[in-house]
Amino acid sequence: MSGLNQSSSELGRPALQRLGLSRPGRALWIAAAVAGAAALLAGCGERPPVEPVQLGYRGTGMETVYNPRMVASLYEAQQLPSVTPAASPEGPRASEVYQNVKVLGNLSVGEFTRVMLAMTAWVAPPDQACSYCHGADMADESKYQYQTARKMLEMTLHTNAQWKSHVGSTGVTCYTCHAGRPVPQYAWYTAPPEQPNGLMATNAMQNRPELSVRLTSLPYDPFTPFLLDKQEIRMAGNTALPTGNRQSIKQTEWTYGLMMHFSNSLGVSCLYCHNSRAFANWEESPPQRTTAWHGIRMVRDLNVNYLLPLTDIQPKNQLGPTGDIAKINCSTCHRGVYKPLFGKGMLKDYPELSGAYPPAPPAPPADGAPVDGVPADAASGDAVPGSPQPGGEPPTTAQAKAPARLAQLPAN
Ligand code: HEC
Ligand code: HEC
Ligand code: HEC
Ligand code: HEC
């Protein structure tokens, strides 16, 4: 993989020597090449110099290439909002004082009010403030924003309490996803099926440059099969003959589509999570791949158990082309950075959202409950952690609700 990181001048020198160009000839040639490269790069929005950062052992070529100017602007865009001083945990509980408090009832009134203020700053449009979710009667739950916010509160507490295998103690608050907007900047809808064009075959949902897969020809909705449904994220099998080899080229393309999203949403190269000499091998993968493995299961859990159930209360004009609600992918939290908000967690400032307070802890996720520690794979070679045994698992809500065409997507 080191070829990827070779600078263009290194690559160009032997070629020029082979061409047998004299010095002035070379100078002209180089000037033309530089002008050409500049013209090409002008369209990319990324100009050199860039900085490679070594991630693996020396000589393994495991590097991620950062553009310091882009990192600087991301950093600027991800500044934390101000934190209000902690409230006293003493005094009567919110559930005793208010009429209709179902999630945050164990907080003191001071803490409860502090959370309402924070939610307003993190999610509501400034000109609407409390009235974005509330009517004149604060206990009235008729607004869909109020009902959504209650589910979102449950989701946030659940994530912080049950998915420590991904979010650690950094955790998430509403701000991680919303960053001051009512609907997060990065969310996704299922892409509508392609209409066959006359007698032509369909495009198999690929070969159409979409930003979801960074304008490559890969299948452009890798989210529905992998982050809503739990189809296998695999590539070509590991045996030469088809004996027992259930993987296909098509499945590999879908897998790569998802991997483009991973790289893009974290602002890293493939080598942040893989050793490119053996993509599938867990023993040679950096620990970040394990964190990502848990992240995939977490995103499925949040989409199926928290977002899908909100579909019916959502205004119709906010639904996607197939009538689905906006859902979460890796970009929703990460927004181009290896750790959301560059790892500066806000949960420590808002222990009210840690999930330690709610009266009845939410039920553990249905799909592959967060397994403690390193996936079993670490010990057992290429076997993949918690990978569903054929026919072994009951269908999820996602499978029940997902469009029928799902069944045909990356199947063999
Ligand atoms: C993003 C939506 C949202 C915003 C903005 C919001 N709230 Fe709330 N509010 C809720 C939800 C959801 C509940 C119910 C919480 C629960 O069940 O634990 C609630 C409950 C309340 C209650 C309890 C009412 C009762 O008797 O049941 C009060 C008081 C309250 N909010 C005050 C405020 C104030 C003051 C603001 C503005 C500073 C505000 N809220 C902003 C969503 C919101
Ligand atoms: C993991 C990411 C994530 C977190 C954390 C999160 N949300 Fe959301 N939220 C979403 C997504 C995705 C949507 C879009 C789905 C929809 O429109 O309902 C959304 C939608 C909403 C909406 C409806 C907006 C609209 O007009 O449709 C409200 C209100 C809301 N969230 C409040 C909150 C509050 C309050 C919190 C913190 C307690 C929170 N959210 C935490 C991802 C998140
Ligand atoms: C943020 C971490 C991360 C990044 C970045 C990433 N991957 Fe992955 N990749 C994973 C995880 C986790 C899995 C396993 C998913 C599972 O088992 O559910 C995986 C699986 C794969 C597989 C399937 C291996 C098998 O078992 O058949 C291939 C191939 C792959 N990745 C290639 C790539 C490529 C190419 C890139 C860059 C475009 C990339 N990955 C970027 C985390 C990552
Ligand atoms: C609900 C918000 C949220 C979503 C959605 C999310 N992450 Fe994360 N992720 C986090 C947080 C918070 C951390 C930091 C954890 C820590 O500090 O230990 C993190 C850390 C990571 C890391 C470790 C980075 C490092 O350098 O150690 C990887 C890799 C990662 N996420 C991959 C993913 C992938 C892949 C997805 C999509 C399948 C995803 N994440 C979706 C919140 C999220």
101 Cβ below 6 A of ligand 1: yes
Taking CB atoms and a 6 Å cutoff, what residues make up the pocket around ligand 4?
A: 159, 166-168, 170, 172, 176, 262, 266, 288, 291-292, 295-296, 299, 328, 330, 332-334, 338-340, 343
What is the average per-residue pLDDT within 385-404?
Answer: 33
pLDDT score for 35: 62
pLDDT score for 237: 72
What is the average per-residue pLDDT within 277-297?
Answer: 94
pLDDT score for 240: 76
359/30: higher pLDDT? 30
pLDDT score for 16: 35
84 CA to centre of ligand 1 in angstroms = 17
What is the average per-residue pLDDT within 88-106?
Answer: 95
Please report which ligand is nearest the Cα atom of 141.
Answer: 1
pLDDT score for 364: 52
274 CA to centre of ligand 3 in angstroms = 7
pLDDT at 156 over 50: yes
Site to substitute for ligand 4 among 62, 271, 339, most atoms within 8 A of C-beta = 339
pLDDT at 283 over 80: yes
Q: What integer best gives the mean pLDDT of the chain? A: 78
Question: Which residues are 52's β-sheet partners?
Answer: 65
pLDDT score for 5: 31
Confidence band, pLDDT 50/70/90 cuts, at residue 58: confident
The percentage of the chain sitting over the pLDDT mark of 70, rounded to a whole number, equals: 73
40 CA to centre of ligand 3 in angstroms = 30
The percentage of the chain sitting over the pLDDT mark of 90, rounded to a whole number, equals: 50
pLDDT at 388 over 50: no
What are 158-213's pLDDT values in tens digits? Answer: 999 999 999 999 999 999 999 999 999 999 999 887 776 666 666 677 877 778 88
pLDDT score for 392: 28
Q: What is the 3-state secondary structure (H, E, C) of the chain?
A: CHHHHCCHHHHHHHHHHHHCCCHHHHHHHHHHHHHHHHHHHHCCCCCCCCEEEECCCCCCCCEEEECHHHHHHHHHHCCCCCCCCCCCCCCCEHHHHCCCCCCCCCCEHHHHHHHHHHHHHHHCCCCCHHHHCCCCCCCCCCCHHHHHHHHHHHHHHHHHHHCHHHHCCCCCCHHHHHCCCCCCCCCECCCCCCCCCCCCCCCCCCCCCCHHHCCCCCCCCCHHHHHHCCCCCCCCCCCCCCCCCCCCHHHHHHHHHHHHHHHHHHCCCHHHCCCCCCCCCCCCCCHHHHHHHHHHHHHHHHHHHHHHHHHHHCCHHHCCCCCCCCECCHHHHHCCCCCHHHHCCCHHHCHHHCCCCCCCCCCCCCCCCCCCCCCHHHCCCCCCCCCCCCCCCCCCHHHHHCCHHHHHCCCC
132 Cβ below 6 A of ligand 1: yes
pLDDT at 245 over 80: no
Please report which ligand is nearest the Cα atom of 272.
Answer: 3
What are 314-340's pLDDT values in tens digits? Answer: 999 999 999 999 999 999 999 999 999
Confidence band, pLDDT 50/70/90 cuts, at residue 117: very high
Domains of the chain, first to last: 2-66 (no CATH), 80-412 (1.10.468.10)
pLDDT at 119 over 80: yes
- Residue located nearest, by CA, to atom 2 of ligand 1: 133
pLDDT score for 162: 95
pLDDT score for 409: 37
Quick check: bond before 49 cis, omega within 30?
yes
What are 205-242's pLDDT values in tens digits? Answer: 787 777 888 778 888 889 999 999 999 898 877 777 77
pLDDT at 407 over 60: no
pLDDT score for 65: 85
42 CA to centre of ligand 3 in angstroms = 30
Taking CB atoms and a 6 Å cutoff, what residues make up the pocket around ligand 3?
A: 233-235, 255-256, 259-260, 262-263, 266, 268, 270, 272-274, 279-280, 288-289, 292-293, 296, 384
Please report which ligand is nearest the Cα atom of 150.
Answer: 1
